Amino acid sequence: MKRRELLVAMASLAGCAPQRRPRLNVFNWSNYVGTDTIPGFEKESGIEVRYSIYESNEEMLAKVFGGNSGWDVVFPACNIVGPMRESGLIAPLQHRWLDQLGNLEERFQHPPWDRNLDWCVPYMWGATGILYNKKLQPAPEAWADLWDERLRGRMTMLDDPTDSIGAGLMKLGLPLNSVEPDHLDQAKLALLRQKRLVRAYLNAEARDQMVSGDLLASQMWATTAQQAMEASGELAFAYPSEGFPVYADCGVILRESQRKQSAHRFLNYLSRGDVACAAASECKAATANAKARLLLPEALRNNEVLYPPETVLKRGEWVEALAAAGQRKRDRIWTEIKSG
Amino acid sequence: MKALRFWMLAPSRALMGGLFLAPLSIIAAYSFLTRGTYGGQSTPWTAENYVRLLADPLYTLILARSFWIAGLSTMFCLLLGFPLALFIAQSGRRKNLFIHLVMLPFWTSFLVRTYAWMFLLRDTGLVNTLLQWAGVTGEPLPLLYNEAAVVLGLIYGYLPFMVLPIFSTLDRLDKGLLEAASDLGATPWTSLWLVTVPLAMPGIVGGCVLVFIPCLGAYLTPDLLGGGKSMMIGNLVQNQFTSARDWPFGSAISLALMALVMMALWTLQRRQKEDLL
Amino acid sequence: MRRALPAIAALTYAFLHLPLAVLMVFSFNESRFTVWEGFSLHWYRELFADARMMEATWNSLFIAATATAAATVMGTACAYGLWKRGAPILSGTLYLSLVTPEIVTGVSMLAFYQFLFRYMDLRLGLHTVILAHIAFSIAFVVVVVKARLKTVDASLEEAAMDLGATHWGAFWRVTLPALGPGIAAAALLAFTISFDDYVITSLVAGVDSETLPMVIYAMARRGVNPTVNAISALIVAGLGVFILIAERLQEA
């Protein structure tokens, strides 16, 4: 915070709304742009960008729910886009200001959560699978292998109901987004049986312990797994044979935004091949942009952890927004599993 | 006399009324609403959230576990914190330095400190490596991801909340009293028990409350050091406001918890005749 | 007991400082993981190049200092006001603020701000964070100062007033000086709580008010890197030196 901003803060403390310079406020996940992404846009457009990061969809939602958060562009996951639209939080996109959408991969031009990209621009995507130590032979290939006695105390599941309950459902051959009470009960029993093998329910924290060799297998996001594999040659990643969850984070413009044109300009900028390529290669995340992917260095472009081949990707299922009743049942199950 | 007291209390009254009670009443209202289709709150007004909480033994189990873990952590904090506070209070000119040394680790982020503990306690971590090197144990001990690790993390996290209030009462302790006690033939231990502890009582009670309450609501420590395997009430509340997006239920759980703790404090206060605030 | 006490204190200090030593060591590690690979200043270089983290650190210090100053003054006044005669509603409210889970405090304040801002041309920002921090740390100040007040002899003030001091003068010259260490302890506690708070801050922070814990928690999703250790080490060293100097000045 510089002196000027201090004065502004003081002024707003005293109750007078500060005079803002024309700019754009962007709220995004951490580690999702390159070092030059934002400065590049500022230079090109003359717009000052205020860029801030959040940790979870819920944190972002809580902020923007009131409709006067001050943010212009945010990046919800694909299963949040629908609810945000229904709640009147996001503005429809003006395609005449977005001439770079053609760069997106085919499957992101007409995604199931927003058939014509009327509301969102897919940015990065990822999937959940199994990170394992190569010492583990035969190597795990399916969610069912995480129920194997030999992993007792050396395996973690994600501390995330969507992914963990999802693994239980898929192991049983049931759909990832199921809200059928019967399906969910079966998954619950499976996960309760698995719990005695599970060392802990952890997210990115499991990464260090995979690298150090404490753990033999972890349910893990592909992006995080990639980081661990770069640090240790002992590790490998599997996309489970029963299927796996796939998610995408998408840029949207908030309805409250007073700077919709600049916001479009920013989303369009992010969709440019060179820009998306720079961000994706620096963050080591999977871009939704086909043109950017072509520009990536060879090793990254053909990385099968970040970009599984078509045959594997076929098994992926998009994470969807769930109805209230199903959500409640899932939360009750999750509570029971975690406190068992 | 009255005027001064009025002005002393006025800022706190205004602030707590405007920035705490008023917002809290919104939460109280939420707790009688229903979760909307995609989160948020919507009518009808209902007491269903409370019924759901009380009718399900799972939630009672979580509550009981939370009280147990918080109680245990508070006890250990007192066992460690009281001697430390006494030591600091008796250390003369250097006591400010010692007090700051207690706070020093807490100027780093909670998350960073917890990660440091994860490193210390894991199988290939420092403690296990040293133990194996010294030949104490062959196989690494399972130090991480159990309730003991949660208690350890909570003691670590809230020890200063015990030390500071006790220190601030002990610091006023009249040395003459202790000398008088020893002149009358009391051993150091008896005078500790009969003179020092009673005088430090307001600080002890204050410290215990300041430690117990946040331990009860802890959620990150059970997740990271407990491995998320034994949920506490704080996790339950947190989940309602995050992954479950059920704010009305989360509000109901919190208010029920708060009512329970307030009742406990009230009973304590009546028996103690010591008011904390 | 003469020997037992320092021994226990030394062990407790070791317990408190062990994780601190660990993170300091790892701030000089070459690897981004908690596996030692060799000495390097890499993360410190990265830290100083990270404008966002530097700004967040500055914000955190500013917020904690402002909120601590305000909460200490208000809380001390409040403890004094409650000293000779209780105020049940205010005490009850303060208790309540202590027993409220953090997330509830945060969510309720956010909802409240959002409600207010519908009628005012204001947004979330540093000011909302500072106000929230004052509100949640005031009860801690009151508890610590009140515990100290109980050891103060109330008749001293009366004696001073019998000798002609005004009520304010008696408070200022007699009671307040006796509260010194209690107030210092309370301020220290308030600063620490404010500086480390994540849950409430992240909910009431706005466009311009990212704090250090927010940056660190946001990084946690993809795995924290050792720049976090580096900034922690620097803050501890910086505040440590600051305190040492303050101590020396006081002694002189």
Q: Are residues A44 and A154 in the same domain?
A: no
What is the per-residue pLDDT for A18? 45
Answer whether A163 touches B (CB < 8 Å): no
Closest chain C C-alpha to A329 CA, distance in angstroms: 23
Task: Tell whether A102 lies on the interface with B, counting CB pairs under 8 A.
Answer: no
As for the ipTM of the complex, it is 0.85
Question: What percentage of chain A reaches a pLDDT higher than 70?
Answer: 94
Residue A238 and residue A134 share a domain: yes
C146 in a structural domain: yes
C130 touches B19 (CB < 8 A): no
- A256/B contact by beta carbon, under 8 A: no
Q: Would you call A204 an interface residue with chain C, using a CB distance cutoff of 8 Å?
A: yes
Say what the pLDDT of residue A19 is.
Answer: 46
- Please indicate, yes or no, if residue C49 is contained in any of the structural domains: no
pLDDT at A94: 95
Q: What percent of chain A has pLDDT over 90?
A: 71
Residue A315 confidence (pLDDT)? 94
A193 and A334, same domain (yes or no): yes
pLDDT tens figures, C210-232: 898 888 887 766 666 788 888 88
**A107-133 pLDDT, tens per residue?**
999 999 999 999 999 999 999 999 999
Chain A contact present for B197, CB below 8 A: no
Q: Distance between CA atoms of A77 and A220, rounded to whole angstroms?
A: 17
pLDDT of residue B84: 94
pLDDT-derived band at B185 (thresholds 50, 70, 90) equals confident
Inter-chain touch A208–C223, beta carbons under 8 Å: yes
Distance from the first to the final alpha carbon of chain A: 47
| Residue A71 near chain C (CB below 8 Å) | yes
A13 part of a folded domain: no
Q: pLDDT of B42-92, one tens digit each?
A: 778 888 899 989 999 999 999 999 999 999 999 999 999 999 999 998 887
The two tokens of residue A178 are: 């199921």
Question: B223 vs chain A: nearest CA distance in angstroms?
Answer: 8
Per-residue model confidence (pLDDT) at position B175:
72
Residue with tokens 């596996």: C35
Among B27, B108, B238, which would you mutate to test the C interface (most chain C Cβ atoms within 10 Å of its Cβ)? B108
Q: Is residue C232 part of a domain?
A: no
Residues from chain B that touch A325, judged by Cβ atoms under 8 A, are none
Mean pLDDT, rounded, for B34-45: 78
Residue C209 lies in a domain: yes
Whichever domain contains C154, its CATH number is: 1.10.3720.10
Across the interface, which of B1, B168, B237 has its CB nearest the CB of C147?
Answer: B168
Pair A147, A231 in one domain: yes
Check: CB of residue A55 under 8 Å from CB of residue A306: no
Give the structural domain span for A176: 127-245+316-339
CATH number of domain containing A111: 3.40.190.10
Instruction: Judge whether C167 lies within some domain.
Output: yes
pLDDT at A191: 96
Closest-CA distance, C84 to chain A, in angstroms, reads 34
A155-195 tens-digit pLDDT? 999 998 999 999 999 999 999 999 999 999 999 999 999 99
Residue A3 lies in a domain: no
Q: Is-contact B65 B230, C-beta < 8 A?
A: yes
In a domain, B277, yes or no: no
Q: Give B162 to chain A, closest Cα distance, Å.
A: 29
Domain interval for residue B219: 55-231
Helix (H, G, I), strand (E, B) or coil at A54: strand
Q: Is C167 on the interface with B (CB under 8 A)?
A: yes
**In this structure, are A200 and A326 located in the same domain?**
yes
Same domain, A335 and A225: yes
**Chain A hits for C55, Cβ within 8 Å:** 1
Q: Which of A320-334, B204-218, C144-158 has the lowest mean pLDDT?
A: C144-158
Interface test with A, best of C112, C208, C211, C228 (most A CBs within 10 A): C208
Contacts of A161 in chain B (CB under 8 A): 243-244
Among the partner residues A59, A214, A335, nearest to B231 by beta-carbon distance: A335
SS3 labels along A272-337: CHHHHHHHHHHHCCEECEHHHHHHCCHHHHCCCCCCCCHHHHCCEEECCCCCHHHHHHHHHHHHHH
List of chain B residues whose C-beta atoms are within 8 Å of the C-beta of residue C108? 23-24, 26-27
- Measure the CA–CA gap between A105 and A121, rounded to whole angstroms: 11
Q: Is residue A4 situated within a structural domain?
A: no
**Considering its fold, how many domains does chain B have in total?**
1
Cα(A224)–Cα(A233) distance, rounded to whole angstroms?
A: 15
Assigned domain for C147 exists: yes
What's the pTM?
0.86
Best of A327, A330, A334 to disrupt the B interface by mutation (most B CBs within 10 Å)? A327
Nearest to B168 among C185, C224, C232 (CB): C185
DSSP A171-187: HTT--TT---HHHHHHH
Strands (DSSP E) found in chain B? 34-35, 41-42
- Chain B: list its partners (3+ Cβ pairs within 8 Å): A, C
Q: Angle at which helices C227-251 and B110-121 pack, to 10 degrees?
A: 110
Within chain A, strands assigned E span: 23-29, 48-54, 73-74, 121-133, 155-157, 198-201, 217-221, 235-238, 244-253, 286-287, 316-318
Q: Are residues A56 and A146 in the same domain?
A: no
Q: Binning pLDDT at 50, 70 and 90, where does residue B1 land?
A: low
Residue B152 falls within a domain, yes or no? yes
Q: Is residue C95 part of a domain?
A: yes
Dump pLDDT digits (tens) for A1-36.
444 555 445 444 444 444 455 789 999 988 888 889
pLDDT for res C180: 82
- Residue B106: closest CA among C17, C199, C234, C215: C17
Instruction: Report how far apart, in Å, the C-alpha atoms of C145 and of each of B93, C62, C71, C82, C182 are.
Output: 21, 24, 12, 11, 5
Q: What is the percentage of chain B residues whose pLDDT exceeds 70?
A: 96
Cα–Cα distance list, B273 to B214, C79, C231 (Å): 23, 17, 46
Average predicted confidence (pLDDT) for chain A:
89
In a domain, B40, yes or no: no
The C-alpha atoms of residue C211 and residue C200 are separated, in whole angstroms, by 11
User: Over chain B, what is the mean pLDDT?
Assistant: 87
pLDDT tens-place string over residues C55-87: 888 999 999 999 999 999 999 999 998 888 878
Residue B136 has pLDDT above 80, yes or no: yes
Contact B241 A58 (CB under 8 A): yes
For residue A57, pLDDT over 70 is answered with yes
**Chain C touching partners, 3 or more CB pairs below 8 A:** A, B
Shortest CA distance to C125 belongs to which of A25, B245, B107? A25
Cβ pairs bridging B and C (under 8 Å): 289
* B interface test, pick of C2, C73, C93, C235 with most B CB neighbours within 10 Å: C93
Facing A62 at nearest CB: one of C118, C203, C221 = C203
Chain B CB within 8 Å of residue C69 CB: no
Token pair, residue C193, equals 């709580």
By CA distance, what is C57's nearest residue in A? Answer: A1
C132 alpha-carbon distance from chain centroid: 13
Chain B positions in Cβ-Cβ contact with residue A339 (cut-off 8 Å)? 58, 61-62, 65, 230-231
Is residue B13 included in any domain, yes or no? no
Same domain for A52 and A187, yes or no, is: no
pLDDT of amino acid A11:
46
CATH number where B70 lies: 1.10.3720.10
Write the residue in B38, B228, B239 that is nearest to A331 by C-beta: B239
How many angstroms separate the CA of residue C99 from the nearest CA in chain B?
6
Q: How many structural domains is chain C composed of?
A: 1
In this predicted structure, what is the pLDDT of residue A292?
A: 95
For A:229-248, CB contacts with C below 8 A are: 231
Residues of chain C with pLDDT under 50: none
Most confident of A137-146, B133-142, B240-249, B264-273: A137-146
Look at B239 and A199 and tell me if their CB atoms are within 8 Å.
Answer: no
Does the residue C152 lie in any domain? Answer: yes
Domain of residue C141, residue span? 60-217
